[in-house]
Amino acid sequence: MHVIVVGAGIIGLATAWHLRSLGAGVTIIDPAPGQGASHAAAGMLAPAAEVVWGQSPLYPLMRASAQMYPSFAAEVASAAGADLGLTDSGTLVCAGDRADLQALRELRTAQTAAGFPTELITGSRARELEPALSPSVAGAVRIPDDQSIDPRRTTAALLSVVSDTTVRRQVTRLTRRDGVTVGVEFSGGDELTADQVVITAGTEAAAITGMPPLPLRKVWGDVLRLRAPAALTPLLHGTVRGLVNGRPVYIVARDDGELVLGASSREDGRSGTDAGAVHRLLQDGQRLVPGILDCEITDITTRARPGSPDDLPIVGRIDEGCLVSTGYFRHGILLAPLGGRLGAELAMGLTPDWMPAGGLASVSPARFSDGPSSADSTSDPSILHPTTLYRSTS
């Protein structure tokens, strides 16, 4: 079987990785592989720290994918001969003041209810674990099982393994015959055919002619990379997240001394770096870790994350020859092993009965569709029919 994967962010690359392990021939198409949202991401593998009120269907997916990560990362690192920067130093979620501490206490209630182990600690205990924390930190939630990985190293490693099948071109249209996708068309008008097409193009998926109207939104984020002076290295030993006047901020420490500070969140349609957002990140970051202001800024990256209305991924068939895997929002790095395996197995006609609670229905594109049932369905592949989305896997 030959499968085209459109989009070479971490989801597309993980999908290609799993497809190859299942014996498929894969062609990955992207004009700039690895340079989208994955290039900006900090790489926190933090299902507990990512718990948000009202998103309980997401928790089983995050937990399952986090459990897949050690073996996934080890296999990719071995195949590529690369270090992906995987660490298991945990997360400290810090409160900038007492009001923020109350918010953390309430959030910890949700984390505990979701089954994640956490510990509420004092500010002084947090500073014992991370001496660079500000004396003003009012308290923290310690999450010992959280991990992190370097997304740039990971995408580079995946690309090195699949580089012989990567085409650096822009897909503009799905090619169909009798209502079924049989390939893709490039900007120059030429085509490439395949047995299956998997669209993993993030926010750009909706721009491909022939795609159904997906409810994607672009959530822009600004991320800074910094390096502390030698006298302060290492400034941090793990990941520090926090609330400062109710605003979330994080600082991820890499094993090579790099620090990743993020991340703003805006839906204003502006692709450029927002000066106010960068100012607030530095301001809030130094409230938790004053030494941030002694660091050198080595990189500022602004990218759009693909969000869905309920902040869950959108993974499923749009016709017998094509499926979509997008909408991962800020969880793309964490959900890469799960999303990659799921997309690959659906493309190969397998039934992913390993999916956690909620199964395919929790991520199906059909959850946003009011389309007709099979009794009055049409051959129009732009209509997402809940009863036919997974016909090839049943």
DSSP string, 74-97: HHHHHHHT-----B---EEEEESS
pLDDT exceeds 80 at position 354: yes
Q: What is the mean pLDDT of the chain?
A: 91
- The predicted pLDDT at position 295 comes to 97
pLDDT single digits (tens) 248-267: 999 999 988 999 999 899 99
d(CA 352, CA 349): 9
- The predicted pLDDT at position 357 comes to 80
Among residues 81, 291, 305, 90, the alpha carbon closest in space to that of 205 is found at: 305
Q: How confident is the model at residue 126 (pLDDT cuts 50, 70, 90)?
A: very high
pLDDT single digits (tens) 172-214: 999 999 999 999 999 989 999 999 999 999 999 989 999 999 9
Domains detected in the chain: 2-38+153-215+309-393 (3.50.50.60), 91-144+218-304 (3.30.9.10)
pLDDT exceeds 60 at position 377: no
Instruction: Output the DSSP codes for 126-141.
Output: HHHH-TTS-TT--EEE
- The predicted pLDDT at position 379 comes to 35
Structure tokens at 277: 């957002």
Averaged pLDDT, 166-176? 97
Query: In degrees rounded to 5, what are phi and psi of residue 204?
Result: -85, -5
CA distances (Å), 116 to each of 63, 65, 193, in order? 9, 14, 45
d(CA 80, CA 150): 15
- The predicted pLDDT at position 164 comes to 83
- The predicted pLDDT at position 370 comes to 63
**Residue 180 near residue 381, CB atoms below 8 Å:** yes
Among residues 306, 343, 309, the alpha carbon closest in space to that of 326 is found at: 306
CA distances (Å), 375 to each of 129, 367, 385, in order? 61, 18, 10
Q: State CA 244 to chain mean position distance.
A: 24
Number of neighbouring beta carbons within 10 Å of residue 267: 11
- The predicted pLDDT at position 44 comes to 97
- Say which amino acid occupies 271: S
Averaged pLDDT, 336-345? 98
- Say which amino acid occupies 357: A
Long-range contacts, 55-58 (Cβ 8 Å, 24+): 55/310, 55/311, 55/312, 56/114, 57/310, 57/312, 57/358, 57/362, 58/311, 58/312, 58/331
Listed range (68-72, 111-115, 329-333) with the worst mean pLDDT: 111-115
Averaged pLDDT, 235-256? 95
User: What are the strands of the beta sheet with 314-319, ordered from one edge?
Assistant: 166-167, 25-29, 2-6, 196-199, 322-326, 314-319
pLDDT exceeds 70 at position 117: yes
Structure tokens at 19: 């497809």
Listed range (94-98, 302-306, 370-374) with the worst mean pLDDT: 370-374
pLDDT exceeds 60 at position 77: yes
- List the beta bridge partners of residue 6: 29, 199
pLDDT single digits (tens) 267-300: 999 999 999 999 999 999 999 999 999 999 999 9
**Residue 158 near residue 13, CB atoms below 8 Å:** yes
Query: In degrees rounded to 5, what are phi and psi of residue 75?
Result: -70, -45
**Residue 306 near residue 379, CB atoms below 8 Å:** no
CA distances (Å), 339 to each of 4, 113, 115, 198, 332, in order? 16, 25, 22, 12, 8
- The predicted pLDDT at position 355 comes to 95
Structure tokens at 202: 């993030």
CA distances (Å), 288 to each of 127, 139, 265, in order? 11, 11, 19
- The predicted pLDDT at position 55 comes to 84
